[in-house]
Amino acid sequence: MSDVTKNTDDNQPNKNQSNKDTSDKKHVLKDSSHILITGATSGIGKQLATDYLKAGHNVYAVGRDEDALAELETLGATSINVDLMDRDKVKAAFAPIETIDVAICGAGMCEYLDMPDFDSEVLMKVMSVNIGTLAHAIDAVLPKLIASKGRLVGIGSASAYVPFARAEAYGSSKAAIHYLMKTLQISLAPHDVAVSLVAPGFVETPMTKQNDFPMPFLQTPEQASRAIREGIEHGDEVIEFPKKLTLPLKTLGALPDLVWQQVSEKINRKKNDK
């Protein structure tokens, strides 16, 4: 599995470029763009890597599953097997990459808490992995994104819009990601780096297979990949889907806390009665 970057001769603008104003067009994908994806060996990340490869882009697939990395290599990816929790190893692994136009940070995990058993070890593990892998990736790719005037993409979750019981660890980590990405939208703008926050609803992935509760408007990895790629192409700062789930959640999140607490209590009561 090689860490060596690939050469590209075609950097002409994509004919399907978004009709946004000129200041945003520099962040839209070009043909044969160089795209780095963390969490590329499973779920949404793997589908994104596959779709971008099929579209002719240069993909750096970052993950730990050697079989999945080998599969992506057959499609033309450059694979990078590195522990994203190790800052020095991440910086060393990404150092040979000459150009990154888009960095999609999608590595993460999910574990739930069942009250009244508050497991601080689980909470700290989820927070550490979901924030740590993102932070180390940003640390390593940001100089390259500044050089290319590229785009940084962070995968959050619609679960950050409202508090859900059992998601104390996962939801807190995603809320932190939302804050970080929205702050970076402000602080990186003077450096010509665009930032997108992705807030997906439920997506059919190995991670959601553990869920033992209803997942309304469940999306396939293909649907999730399409929504994210279209959002990046359009230069969207927030890419959220499906709207029929995210809009109601955002509306609930804007209501007084007492209202959502009552709704959440009813949901938990119905679940406990089953």
Question: What does the domain layout of the chain look like in residue ranges?
Answer: 29-246
Select the more confidently predicted residue: 212 or 196: 196
Res 264: pLDDT:
66
Residue 22 has pLDDT above 50, yes or no: no
Closest by CA to 197, choosing from 188, 209, 210, is: 188
Res 268: pLDDT:
61
Q: What angle do CA 136, 220, 199 make, to 5 degrees?
A: 45
Closest by CA to 108, choosing from 159, 44, 152, is: 44
* Stretch 56-63: mean pLDDT: 97
29-246: what CATH class? alpha beta
Q: How many CB atoms lie within 10 A of CB 146?
A: 13
Adjacency order of strands within the sheet including 78-81: 78-81, 58-63, 34-38, 102-105, 151-155, 194-200, 238-241
Length of the chain: 274
Strands 78-81 and 102-105: unpaired
* Stretch 112-116: mean pLDDT: 91
DSSP annotation of 220 reads: P
Task: Name the pLDDT band for 205 (thresholds 50, 70, 90).
Answer: confident
Least trusted range by pLDDT, from 53-67, 143-157, 223-237, 253-267: 253-267
Res 257: pLDDT:
75
> Rounded distance, CA 161 to CA 252, Å?
8
What pTM was estimated for this model as a whole?
0.84
Distances (CA, A) of 82 to 2, 28, 66, 107, 124: 12, 28, 11, 12, 21
Select the more confidently predicted residue: 211 or 21: 211
> HSE (CB half, 13 Å, CA atoms) of 1?
20
Task: Name the pLDDT band for 226 (thresholds 50, 70, 90).
Answer: very high
Res 23: pLDDT:
40
Task: Name the pLDDT band for 25 (thresholds 50, 70, 90).
Answer: very low
Task: Name the pLDDT band for 32 (thresholds 50, 70, 90).
Answer: confident
Res 28: pLDDT:
65
